[in-house]
Amino acid sequence: MQRCRQLLRFLRAEHGYAMVIILMLMPVFIWVCLLVIDIARGNSAQSDMAAAADALALAGARELDGQTDAIARAQAAMASLSNTVNFLGLDASGAHVTLHYASDGGDFLVRFLTDIPTSDDLPINDAYLAGHVTAVPQLARYAYVTVLPRSLRTFFPNPAQDARQDIPVIARAVAGSSAETCDIAPLFICNPLEATGQDLAAVYGVGGLHGRILRMVPVTNGNSRPGNFGFMTSLTTPDMSNQSTKAMAELFAGKENPTCYDMRSVTTLSGGHDISDGLNTRFDLYANRFNIDFQLYPPAFNVRKGYIPKDANNPNYCIMVAANPVNGYALGFPDNASMTRPTSGATGSRLGSGSWDITRYWLVNFGGALTAAQKAGMSSFPVVDPVTGHILPSRYDVYRYEIENGLVSTWSRGGPGSSGRNRESGAPLCAMSKNPLPQISDTPDKRVILAAVIDCLANPGGTGNTARPVRNFASVFLVNPLDIKDMGAAKLDIEIIDLNGGTSGTLRREAVLVR
């Protein structure tokens, strides 16, 4: 009886009931805590893998510039990265996992795409990939990265199985490259090596274009071939009108171009504009309206070109004519020993090869002779002169040497005339005689401009504006003035001194995540 009363008192007692409830719910609390921890671990692992996919896609996409080695460079860039994922496992081996990319394996699957769906609502599935994956470097525009699945071992057991689970974690990213150049003269040139099958960038990289004049003639009626040059559209030069002709000359004189150009594709005009008055301001030659607006169009810092005053007895350095190279009063940069028409090239165009007469150029303009060591020191490539056996600098190398060694104002040896003034200095004496004085500077170098290089045989222009793919953007050195008013007979002499390096203008290359 006593025991029954004690049991009844115990059942009626209200002291310590919270402890009882806690003890009953403790397993639930523990399960919930484990579940929250697993959710946090999953979110962290997913974020780490997504960041790894993003980083790899961006690194690869930045190299996809349409060049023949674009995919190889993209793979090398991605292989240089390492990323980590945390909290996948429950022991030390799974707490911190490093992910690596390799072109033949690794922790990522990377595919290069030619395009992506126009809408984010459209998936990149197996069917889409089948039609848009490419191994051609020139066609690759996007890097599609998949982090191969990794298993997340849970703390929280599956109630149905009373066992921990392995949950797969995966991430994907797609990045594309965006490259454009802004504020440049709207010039394009046809690839002079297109018909030979040689890659322009590869030839340039081994010095195969070093010191070679490319003499180009203008495009006519939309027909363009190796050795032609022409013009891209801009916001101020959309067509072949007279207004566009005026604006085009101003752009080549150095006026700011409000247009940015995609480095993969540009729109070209079908014909030529007369840009001689504008371009020649860079050489301190001012004519017509540019002689009035001279202050807006300063010349280059070094304008040596082989010109002398028209009147030797009363020299006016704003009225200059090309010196007779035979007389040796002044001498611009000579041609190469061999000047031949490019393969399948335009009539009148030439591509130089072999030596150029640096010895006479130096003798006429500076007196004396350059030593082999001097020539080697100024040369940007170790290309050997077949005549002398010395390393031969390019014309651009010599031009820069004159600037960097204080030789710009040196007078050529000259000839008969008042006080021997039938001669030339590299200083822009016409601009320096103006009032107010134009701002003459070596930065930027006004004898260097950026030009789009187009495979004109594979991508011919039309009778109107034509969108055409770009092979490269080339920095070109203006060797001589464009002094012929008839653009049909004009010849533009250049040296290619850089490819895709942005020597002139503003080059912007970015990689952006698109998925």
pLDDT along the chain (515 residues), means of 10: 68 65 71 65 72 86 83 89 70 66 80 86 87 87 85 63 67 84 92 94 92 92 89 87 88 92 87 86 92 89 95 87 90 96 94 94 94 95 90 97 96 74 91 87 93 94 85 94 68 91 60 80
Q: Which residues contact 424 (CB under 8 A, 6 or more apart)?
A: 304, 305, 306, 307, 308, 323, 329, 330, 365, 411, 412, 414
According to the 3-state scheme, what is the secondary structure of 49-79? HHHHHHHHHHHHHCCCCCCCCHHHHHHHHHH
Residue-level pLDDT at 153: 64
Residue-level pLDDT at 434: 85
Tell me how far apart the alpha carbons of residues 481 and 504 are, in angstroms, rounded to a whole number.
Answer: 18
Given a contact cutoff of 8 angstroms between Cβ atoms, the answer to whether 483 and 111 are in contact is no
Tell me how far apart the alpha carbons of residues 342 and 215 are, in angstroms, rounded to a whole number.
Answer: 10
- For residue 71 the two structure tokens come to 């995919």
Residue-level pLDDT at 506: 57
What 3-state DSSP class applies to 249? helix
| Distance, CA of 281 to chain centre | 27
Tell me how far apart the alpha carbons of residues 52 and 40 are, in angstroms, rounded to a whole number.
Answer: 18
Phi, psi for 137 (deg, rounded to 5) = -55, -35
Residue-level pLDDT at 165: 65
Residue-level pLDDT at 407: 97
- Burial annotation 368-387 (CB, 10 A radius, 16+ → b, else e): eebeeebbeebbebebebee
> Is 509 exposed, middle or buried, given 0-12, 13-18 or 19+ CB atoms closer than 10 A?
middle
